[in-house]
Amino acid sequence: MKKWAEVALGVVTSIGGFLEVGSIATSAQGGAEFGYQLAWVLVLGTMSLAILMEMTGRLAAVSQRTYADLLRERFGYRFFLLPLVAVFVVSLLVVISEIGGVSIALQIATGIDFRWWAIPTAIVGWFLLWRGNFTIVEQGTAMLGLVAISFAVGALKLHPVWPTLGRAMLPSLPSHDRARYWYLAVSILGASISPYLYLFYSAGAIEDEWTIEHLGVNRVTAGMGNVFGGGLAIATLVTAALVLAPREIKVDRYEQIALVLATPLGRAGLVFFIMTLFITCFGATLEIVLAMAYLLAQGLGWNWSENLKPDKDARFATSYSVLILLAALPIAIGMDPLTLTNISMVATAASLPVTVIPLFVLMNDGDLLNTHVNGWPSNLALVVIALLSIVLLVAALPLQLLGGG
């Protein structure tokens, strides 16, 4: 019974973790400009993330070490600097965007300019990290994040054309604006497959004291949670395809995305949109700064746990405190959240090789995983994801220049 409660909670957590500022913005842009056509990218991104999360979760549960621990231990300090710096740079960009998302939600709700909300958001977020424990951060934001289901309700009320949507689950070439199409494809992949998600997930397995007994929970959480989360992102794309595309509205401001729920659901839709944007971005803010502090603490061997009081892990607690306040500054001085979101998602996509390729080595290490090493299907999947990550690294900058505008 306890196991099932854990499974249910895990699924809810990954739904809450999946949808955030990046997925909302890029899915809405994709739907507005290319209808259902980019849905296959969300399928690809969701499947890749589910596979990466299952593996990092299994690695932590069996070896009792986090992915960041093993990046340092098995590859040495020199190599470790590479994922450390890459993940820090992109995660900082993403967390700034998330604080931007929270601030925009508050601007739409109150009419007060988003710049004023950045610092208060960071302070409230810091307070929760300082006083709250891992369960509060993980499950609290996940439970509230279920309001994102309103996107699924909105999509259904708009009566999507199912056969067309079904066909869009398979890749197809665009008939117009090819650079823009592939740019959005890269952004959507960057929004789906974020290193912070699996670094956080792997640290969470240790925080929640997972053992080999939890491998089933891990599989269901990573699989089902991402199916639901990815489903909500597809729902966002569908609503944008049905509301924004016919009116030829291209998303260049967050306020325009509010229309995708306000059209099918009326005033309640606007409220749901604000709540979804607020809660999912706020939850992601907490998870990203924690993921960064975990990476630093684990890589350098500091004491760390969101369940310890800050004086027991002073360097860890100071790290997330400094990071969350630092991330609020660019928004407070007026950087445009949507532009920043788009840049962050492409940068994330480009950063993937350094955290995906080492996983292949670790998942085949019998000393760490005993009989739980990858079988050939998992290895094949991981090779495909690694190749995809290399393509993303090579394509990111040219596409940002050609299709980013």
Partner 1 sequence: MGALHLSHDVIDAQLVDRQQEKIGRIDELLLELEDGQPPRVATIVIGGVARARRVGRWMLALHRAVHALFGHREEQESRVPFDAVRRIGDTIELDVEGDTLASMRLERWLATHIVLRIPGGSGERK
**Interaction residues for partner 1, span 292-331 (CB under 8 A):** 300-304, 306-311, 314-315, 317-318
Residue number, 164 or 318, with CB nearest to partner 1: 318
Using CA atoms, how far apart are residues 289 and 321, in angstroms rounded to an integer? 8
At its nearest, how many Å lie between partner 1 and the CB of residue 249?
46
At its nearest, how many Å lie between partner 1 and the CB of residue 70?
10
At its nearest, how many Å lie between partner 1 and the CB of residue 299?
8
Residue number, 14 or 202, with CB nearest to partner 1: 202
Structure tokens given for 80:
């470790």
Identify whether the C-beta of residue 260 lies closer than 8 Å to the C-beta of residue 244: yes
At its nearest, how many Å lie between partner 1 and the CB of residue 305?
9
Residue number, 132 or 174, with CB nearest to partner 1: 132
At its nearest, how many Å lie between partner 1 and the CB of residue 14?
23
Nearest to 211 by CA among 362, 89, 384, 370: 370
At its nearest, how many Å lie between partner 1 and the CB of residue 290?
13
Residue number, 120 or 404, with CB nearest to partner 1: 120
Residue number, 11 or 199, with CB nearest to partner 1: 199
Q: Does 212 bind partner 1 (CB under 8 A)?
A: no
The number of CA neighbours under 13 Å toward the Cβ of 344 is 33
- Burial bucket for residue 78 (CB in 10 Å: 0-12, 13-18, 19+): exposed
Using CA atoms, how far apart are residues 180 and 218, in angstroms rounded to an integer? 37
Residue number, 54 or 306, with CB nearest to partner 1: 306
Q: Total binding residues for partner 1 by CB under 8 A?
A: 30
Identify whether the C-beta of residue 183 lies closer than 8 Å to the C-beta of residue 29: no
For the chain, how big is the Rg over CA atoms in Å? 20
Residue number, 76 or 166, with CB nearest to partner 1: 76
Structure tokens given for 26:
């890029």
**Cα–Cα distances in Å, from 356 out to 104, 148, 241, 337?**
32, 29, 32, 28
Residue number, 134 or 360, with CB nearest to partner 1: 134
Residue with tokens 């050939």: 376
At its nearest, how many Å lie between partner 1 and the CB of residue 64?
6
* Site pattern 265..294 for partner 1 (x: CB under 8 A): ------------------------------
Identify whether the C-beta of residue 98 lies closer than 8 Å to the C-beta of residue 20: yes
Residues 316-321: contacts with CB within 8 Å, 24+ apart? 317/130, 317/293, 319/292, 319/293, 320/126, 320/129, 320/289, 320/290, 320/292, 320/293, 321/126, 321/129, 321/130
* Site pattern 38..77 for partner 1 (x: CB under 8 A): -------------------------xxx---x--xxx-xx
* Site pattern 117..146 for partner 1 (x: CB under 8 A): -------------xxxx-------------
Residue number, 3 or 315, with CB nearest to partner 1: 315
Residue number, 116 or 302, with CB nearest to partner 1: 302
Return all residues near 110 (Cβ < 8 A) that are at least 6 apart: none
At its nearest, how many Å lie between partner 1 and the CB of residue 136?
8
**Interaction residues for partner 1, span 73-102 (CB under 8 A):** 73-74, 76-78, 81
At its nearest, how many Å lie between partner 1 and the CB of residue 352?
23
Assign residue 49 a region: left if phi > 0, alpha if psi is -120 to 50, beta otherwise?
alpha
At its nearest, how many Å lie between partner 1 and the CB of residue 228?
29
Using CA atoms, how far apart are residues 293 and 196, in angstroms rounded to an integer? 11
Using CA atoms, how far apart are residues 164 and 36, in angstroms rounded to an integer? 8
Binding site for partner 1 (CB under 8 A): 63-65, 69, 72-74, 76-78, 81, 130-133, 300-304, 306-311, 314-315, 317-318
